Structure 1
Amino acid sequence: MLPFFTNPYPDELLYSAIARYHFYSGNLDCKDTLEELFGSRSVVPSVEIGSNFSILAERLGPQYSVESLLANHTIYPYYALFLSKQRQLEILEDVKGEGQALYTRLGIVAGGICRKDGLYYCSICAKADTERYGEPYIHREHQLQGIDYCPHHEVLLRKYPITNDSRIEYIRFELKHMDLSSTHKIDPHKELALHLAKQAYKLLHLPLHFLSREQINAKYQTLLRAHNLITASNRVRQREMYQAIKSILSGSFLQHYESTLNNNDEYNWLRVLTRNSKRHVNPFRHLLFLYYLQQDVENLVTINEDDGAFGRGPFPCLNRAATHYKKFVIPNVVVTRDFKTKNSIGTFTCSCGFVYSRKHTTNMFEIGRIKAFGDVWLEKLHDLQEQNLSIRAIARELGVDSKTIKRYLIGNVELKQVNSHRDNDDILGIYKQNLLKGIKELPNLSRTALRNKYKKQYMYLYRHDKAWLDEALPERRYGQNTIKKVNWAKRDQQYVQEIKRLHQKLLQSEKPIRITISKIGKSLGILANLEQHLNKLPKTNKLLNDITESLQDFQLRRCYKIIDDLLGNDQGIFLWQVQRKAAIKSHHFHAIKPKLESYIEMKQEVTNNERTTS
């Protein structure tokens, strides 16, 4: 154990504390210091983290451990949260020993961005440290990749002048070499850069290995689902997410911080970050992603991991006629997508025959739509009818509208219920008759044409009596249709012209219409090609990336139109009035409110200038 050691200051790099120890120990040769601390004269000093921590912790005394040194006096916590549990354990072993694979495992080698080629300091921190401790020291929060500002004093970091670049020397900060003057530099990215610096500092102080990449990915899934960016099949809506991030993070900012996004690149950092991939993503980019999600780093501790749109089963049966009403007896949920809103819809089927669905945003005891009541419910209905209860009383008892009760008691829906429980043989017989009648009336139709005309019958017969279907259909026709090779370049140019014309038409529509790939594809009858062959249509793809709107873009355009109309009619503008006319929910409107205020100010200034000129 060493007779003394220069104990590290708060958030001081271990490298800095060792440099101070070398200075105060009076050692002339740095190798003597290395031997005293690490038991070896061949250890290479490392600024960011280091190695041989087992020997160092043993020589420093019981108040230090490998974990405490790693957590409090290295930059490792900046990376730790986003590493797999296995990788975290490997790195812990690396720092205990010689650490040969350390920086490769961290991703600094392959995934590094905005690398710093020296030591950095904050002039105000240097002054404060000198007043408090008698000397400045190297803060770990100032050495992080991508971080240009001090999170405490909100000033740009400065590079410390190094005259000796020997690999086995430790650099100690000296006040006489530091620029402590007050300078102000115009930085268009300062506000966001400051926010990221503060978030990075919080990363350094989260409990070491409290979370891992696996858990972070599950939490990201929860956050993306809240933004309606997860499909019914649990896939991320990459294109919509890309459009949303593009509207929040400027291209110049992303370029400055080496984080530009190319949506056509299957391995751009945003796709890698939101997929269960082994590729490394720099912590700075995780901070960008959290900024888009409007989440603080500290929130990651409390956010639940994703359990799917509706959570894990079992789920409650909401059949008021059943003895197990509100009991969790439904084991699974079938998740589908609402065609219009793209929200996830869950369908819950109970053994009692009761089937209901609801959106994932609603309470689990709330029914969105009843798809089938089942035999238990129907039996209860007839029992209540025999008790001579009124229609309304029966409706209250069964939890439905009185009109529903009337329909069932009259018999219209009862027939539907009976039909839905017919034997397969009855349905097969009806569908066979439908198809045979069609073949007889339309003898010239091909198999494909018949399948398209009688889709329901065809699919049912295909699944339940394929042999009969194959025999009943007309002979296959070969060689009548020659497949023409598609000229994708010509089609690409044609689509560009058609989409441009449609885009102008949509923009001029009296009632604003959100411009999406789905809307454009359906309007022009080319949705299948836009969904399946967009990689063959580069010009079309680029145009769509430029003109399609995220939900926020569309909300802004709607509001801008309302503001323009109000100004054109010389009416006063109240934001609550704009929100009501645009029919935007409050939490969405709050996000776009600053942009609307800027737009109103700009338009009013233009109007005033025009009046002054005239």
Structure 2
Amino acid sequence: MLPFFTNPYPNELLYSAIARYHFYSGNLDCKDTLEELFDSRCVIPSVEIGSYFSVLAEKLGSRYSVESLLANHTIYPYYASFLSKARQQQILQDVLKGGQALYTRLGIVAGSVCKKDGLYYCAECAKVDHAQYGEPYIHREHQLQGINYCPHHEVPLRKYPITMDSRIQYVRFELKHMNLTAIYDVEPYKEIAVAIAKQAYQLLQLPLHELSREIITSKYRVLLRERNFITASNRVRQKELYQAVSSHFPNGFLQCYESELNEVYEYNWLKVLLRNSKRHIHPLRHLFLQNFLQQDIKSLVITSTDKGAFGAGPFPCLNKAASHYKQFIIQNVDVTRDFKKKNLIGTFTCSCGFIYARKHTTDIFKIGRVKAFGEIWLQKLNEFANGNLSIQAMARELGVDSKTIKRYLNGNVELNKYEDSKTVDEQLVWYKHELLEGMKQLPNLSRTQLRRQFQKQYIYIYRHDNAWLAENLPVKQQKQTPTKSVDWIKRDQQYVKQIKVLHNQLLTEEKPIRITRSIIGNRLGILANLERHLNKLQQTKQLLQEITESVRDFQLRRCYKIIDESLENNVPILLWQVQRVAAIKSHHFHEIKPILETYIAMKQDVKNDERTTS
């Protein structure tokens, strides 16, 4: 155990506390400090998190644990809530030892956004720290990627002017090197940037691993469902969501924070974030989505997880005539969408024949509409009728309006030959009546015109009794003019010209885009023809075979571009840097590494020959 240690201040990075310890201990060599703290002179200091926490916690005594150091004095909580439960446990094991896989698991290497290249501070926080503790220190909330404002004082962060000259070095904040003036540049996105900074700070205050990717994704679906971005089949309305998120943020904001949305790209961050995918999404982008959903971390924590629009079931039977009234015996719900208002409607069918529907926002014991009363309900009605009860009394006992009782007692419920008397859908009967009346009043309307004139009725009948429509609608009218045949040869030549122009544009994009049939088809608006009629477009087919890229081809092109730029700028080529900038996973990079080495040698030989001849 150490004889003394400079205990971390609130929200101080462990790196900062160790830098202070190194200063006050009087050690001249950082390696001596590393040996005292970690029993090793080979540990590489890490600003964000660190490693060998098990050794350090033992040295510091019972006051500190691995979990408390990780939760309170690293930036790990910024990432933790958006990691899977399995990956959270892996990271706990990583920090106990050397932490070789730590930053890869966090996605900091491949998924970095607005990466910071130094240490940052808030001038106002530095003044407060000096007054309270006698010295400034490194706040972890100021070092987060993508966070440019102090969440406490709402002022821009400033970069500390001292750079790290060695990998084995600890930088300690000193007031004399800080710019403490209260003059700041005007920022165009200050309001929303400050809100994001406050959200990020709340992440740091969460108990370790209170949230995980599985939990938070489920909560997102609840919030999206409330805003009608989830379909009746439980799918995300990606196009509508993309448009809503894009319009929510100020023009240029997402581009400024390296998070521009590309609707065409299958793996844009908004789509991946809401899928059950192993791809890492940066915490900053999660905060953008939460800002759009008008949530902060505190409100997100108390949001329930998704159990479907109507919950997981079972559901109550609301047939007042049945002995199992209000008992949870209905196992499933049929979810549809209201054609007019777009609300989700759940239909609940009980074995007693009682069928009712309600909106997903209403109380589970409240009926929106009864679709069928069933045999038990009808038997009870007949018993009450024979017992000389009043209409109002029967209505109260059976849970319906008195008009419904009268209609059934008078036999005014119309039954169609396609309907079972045990499960009469009153809405279906009424809509059929309205459509037949419309056809009588407007006898010259075609099927298409009727569908447009009576949209609500037509769609409902189509879903519940399509055979009735086929029998009762007017005969289909034949088209008077023949369909024009397509000149596929001319269209083929036209497509080839368009694709060549687009191909050249895609190759010059600053951020490389993989050239695929779907990208070309979507950009040109011809994807349907490329998928269905490509055999009729022989020149187009041949051109696509020549220019479309496999995943490996795309990886090589990205690497070639980085290598060419390095050679042009006379920058040494390091393959590990090429891998990092190109964002290629290690097992893929090992496969293409020999090809890249050959390419580098060839390009260098060409460059040397040019120098010799000149």
Report the TM-score, using the length of structure 1 for normalisation.
0.69
The letter of the residue matching 1:157 is L
Contact 1:221 1:230 in 2 (8 A): yes
Contact 1:73 1:140 in 2 (8 A): yes
- Aligned counterparts of 1:487 and 1:388: Cα–Cα separation in 2: 82
- Aligned counterparts of 1:486 and 1:354: Cα–Cα separation in 2: 57
SS of residue in 2 equivalent to 1:231: coil
SS of residue in 2 equivalent to 1:389: coil
Contact 1:408 1:414 in 2 (8 A): no
Contact 1:248 1:292 in 2 (8 A): yes
Is 1:298 aligned to residue 291 of structure 2?
no
Tell me what 1:271 maps to.
Answer: 271
Deviating more after overlay: 241-250 vs 133-142 = 241-250
Deviating more after overlay: 335-344 vs 128-137 = 335-344
Tell me what 2:378 maps to.
Answer: 378
Shift of 1:274: 1.1
Contact 1:489 1:537 in 2 (8 A): no
Contact 2:161 2:177 in 1 (8 A): yes
Change in Cα spacing, 1:485 to 1:318, as seen in structure 2 (3 Å) is farther
SS of residue in 2 equivalent to 1:150: coil
- Aligned counterparts of 2:45 and 2:139: Cα–Cα separation in 1: 16
The letter of the residue matching 2:267 is Y
Shift of 1:400: 2.0
Shift of 1:381: 1.2
Change in Cα spacing, 1:203 to 1:485, as seen in structure 2 (3 Å) is farther
Change in Cα spacing, 1:229 to 1:164, as seen in structure 2 (3 Å) is closer
Contact 1:488 1:537 in 2 (8 A): no
Superposed CA offset, 1:496-537 (max 9, x none): xxxxxxxxxxxxxxxxxxxxxxxxxxxxxxxxxxxxx99956
Contact 2:374 2:422 in 1 (8 A): no
Contact 2:264 2:522 in 1 (8 A): no
Tell me what 2:343 maps to.
Answer: 343
Is 1:213 aligned to residue 213 of structure 2?
yes
Is 1:106 aligned to residue 106 of structure 2?
yes
Is 1:316 aligned to residue 297 of structure 2?
no
Query: For 1:146-545, what aligned pairs fall within 5 Å after superposition?
Result: 146-413=146-413, 415-416=415-416, 419-420=419-420, 536=521, 538=523
Query: For 1:89-168, what aligned pairs fall within 5 Å after superposition?
Result: 89-168=89-168
- Aligned counterparts of 2:327 and 2:318: Cα–Cα separation in 1: 8
- Aligned counterparts of 1:417 and 1:385: Cα–Cα separation in 2: 27
Shift of 1:407: 2.4
Change in Cα spacing, 1:456 to 1:205, as seen in structure 2 (3 Å) is closer
The letter of the residue matching 2:348 is F
- Aligned counterparts of 1:256 and 1:418: Cα–Cα separation in 2: 61
Change in Cα spacing, 1:19 to 1:487, as seen in structure 2 (3 Å) is farther
Shift of 1:56: 0.8
Deviating more after overlay: 111-120 vs 260-269 = 260-269
Is 1:64 aligned to residue 92 of structure 2?
no
Tell me what 1:440 maps to.
Answer: none
Contact 2:147 2:197 in 1 (8 A): yes
Contact 1:13 1:48 in 2 (8 A): yes
Aligned-residue RMSD, C-alpha: 3.1
The letter of the residue matching 2:367 is I
- Aligned counterparts of 1:58 and 1:350: Cα–Cα separation in 2: 62
Superposed CA offset, 1:549-587 (max 9, x none): xxxxxxxxxxxxxxxxxxxxxxxxxxxxxxxxxxxxxxx
SS of residue in 1 equivalent to 2:345: strand
Contact 1:45 1:168 in 2 (8 A): yes
Shift of 1:62: 1.3
Change in Cα spacing, 1:326 to 1:487, as seen in structure 2 (3 Å) is farther
- Aligned counterparts of 2:149 and 2:160: Cα–Cα separation in 1: 15
Contact 1:138 1:173 in 2 (8 A): yes
Gaps in structure 1 of 5+ consecutive residues: 424-453, 462-479, 494-532, 542-614
Shift of 1:135: 1.0
Shift of 1:325: 1.5
Shift of 1:419: 4.8
SS of residue in 2 equivalent to 1:329: strand
SS of residue in 1 equivalent to 2:110: helix
Superposed CA offset, 1:131-185 (max 9, x none): 1111111110000001101111111111011244211011111111111112121
SS of residue in 1 equivalent to 2:22: helix
- Aligned counterparts of 1:487 and 1:412: Cα–Cα separation in 2: 64
- Aligned counterparts of 2:251 and 2:413: Cα–Cα separation in 1: 58
Q: When the two structures are aligned, how many residues end up with a matched partner?
A: 454
- Aligned counterparts of 1:102 and 1:255: Cα–Cα separation in 2: 28
Shift of 1:401: 2.5
Superposed CA offset, 1:411-464 (max 9, x none): 2427459951599xxxxxxxxxxxxxxxxxxxxxxxxxxxxxx99999879xxx
Contact 2:38 2:56 in 1 (8 A): yes
Change in Cα spacing, 1:388 to 1:220, as seen in structure 2 (3 Å) is same
Superposed CA offset, 1:353-388 (max 9, x none): 000111111111111121111100111111111122
Contact 2:375 2:422 in 1 (8 A): no
Deviating more after overlay: 316-325 vs 19-28 = 316-325
